[in-house]
Amino acid sequence: MRERLSDLFNLRRGELAPVLIAGLFFFCILSALMMLRPARDALGMEQGIDSVRWLFIGTAVVTLAVNPMFGWLVSRFRRLHFISATYAFFALSLVGFWALLVFAPGAVGTRSGQVFYVWFSVFNLFVTMVFWALLADRFSSDQGRRLFALIAVGGTLGAIFGPWLASQLAEPLGTPALLLVAAAFLGFAIALAWWLVWTRPDRGASPAEADSPAAEEARRIGGSAWAGFRAVFSSPYLLGIAGYVLTMTVVATFIYFTRLQMVAGAESGLDARTGLLGNIDMWTQVAVLVLQLTLTGQIIRRFGLAVALAALPVATALGFIGLAIYGSFAMLIALEAMSKAVQRGLTRPAREALFTVISREDKYKAKAFIDTFVYRAGDVVGAQTEGLLGRIGLALGGLVTVVVPLALFWAMLGLWLGRAQQRRADDAGRTLPTPGAPADRQVS
């Protein structure tokens, strides 16, 4: 059975256990996130669509402020310690929100809902960023190309399981209890992070070249808390990744606000909106899972990262054109399902493989800046652009005129990044580290 699985999923000796652990790790994270996301979106809409745009600005500001704090943790503590501290902080925050809902329900109002919206948006990005940073650190470039799509299946299963579990537990336990369940999933994630690190994958190095997990964990990354900021703006490669993420989030925000407006028109109550948003998320995840299990690995292996990165811009542009022509709620669901399926099932594993060829410090600090602040900056730009187009009366048709040129730039950037990653991986293969050499700055 193990040999059959290895052949089916392109696994090599020593890789099955780390892949299963990483998949379960991602399952726990996405289960926690997707249990709570529909409630986050519904709370954000309570004061109208325009309030969500301001919440995006607040989220971007908070994310920028948190980045140096995370950089300080990375500089001062060992890898597993700062990873555990990050997840423990968010788990304790969930316990705090639970206590507020249970012991001080009278204090819960519009302002606390907005705080939860911003907090959840930061939480969402940081827990997934830390997961993928650890994977980029633990797996080689070749393994990232072959295995990240397979590992992402665990996250998709979690994204399906989370809303289902919430629907089963909300009535017998109450909505506040879901926060404790999500916190428990983060606790499991911490244990799995340790297990993943100590179950060392075969990176293709000889025993003399490979550090033991204990020796690797003993080294602190060091450096400055602000190193991630400087690295992004001093490296064309990292700046290209930042541009790709920024463009992607601008377009994704267009889809997000289009969905909110259509949902607001279809349902007026908080509970009805939450249920409708949850159903959209569930069926989207099913589409993601189908793509991951059938095409993702084959596309990346056969056509490379460049094509995988360019697929999302093309699919999104075509979807927006279809939405502009038909303008129906069913077409919106098809657009969102298609874009998210391509993004999470194909583009996300390819994008995370881009980080396997940079230094260890940059995998955590520069990646944190890109995956959190740059991501949220794209949200802000997209939200304000969508609002401006709506105010001047262009609405959906105006979005298409913006999306198509953006998609062209986005696709070209994806092609360049895929080729640049391959060159870096080839250069690293020609200059393997000597025995005993430090591993955290092998590729700059």
pLDDT digits (tens, 9 = 90+) for 375-429: 989 988 888 887 777 666 566 666 778 888 999 999 999 999 999 999 998 887 6
Instruction: Please indicate, yes or no, if residue 372 is contained in any of the structural domains.
Output: yes
Instruction: Please indicate, yes or no, if residue 444 is contained in any of the structural domains.
Output: no
- Which parts of the chain sit beneath pLDDT 70? 1-9, 38-52, 107-110, 112, 200-218, 260-282, 295-297, 327-330, 390-398, 429-444
Place of tokens 């428990």: 184
Instruction: Please indicate, yes or no, if residue 218 is contained in any of the structural domains.
Output: no
pLDDT at 205: 44
pLDDT tens for each residue of 91-137: 999 999 888 878 877 766 667 677 888 888 899 999 999 999 999 99
Instruction: Please indicate, yes or no, if residue 85 is contained in any of the structural domains.
Output: yes
Instruction: Please indicate, yes or no, if residue 441 is contained in any of the structural domains.
Output: no
The closest alpha carbon to 163, from 344, 271, 285, belongs to: 285
Place of tokens 């009805």: 272
* Alpha-carbon gap, residue 233 to 334, rounded angstroms: 37
pLDDT at 97: 86
Q: Please state the pTM of the whole predicted model.
A: 0.83
For residue 28, the domain's CATH number is 1.20.1250.20
Helix pair angle (270-291, 329-342), 10° resolution: 50
Phi, psi for 204 (deg, rounded to 5): 90, 5
Phi, psi for 102 (deg, rounded to 5): -85, -45
* Alpha-carbon gap, residue 211 to 137, rounded angstroms: 13
Instruction: Please indicate, yes or no, if residue 440 is contained in any of the structural domains.
Output: no
Which residue range forms the structural domain that includes residue 106? 2-200+225-430
Number of compact structural domains in the chain:
1
Instruction: Please indicate, yes or no, if residue 296 is contained in any of the structural domains.
Output: yes
The closest alpha carbon to 376, from 45, 129, 50, belongs to: 129
Contact 258, 331 (CB under 8 A): no
pLDDT at 209: 40
Instruction: Please indicate, yes or no, if residue 215 is contained in any of the structural domains.
Output: no
pLDDT at 221: 86
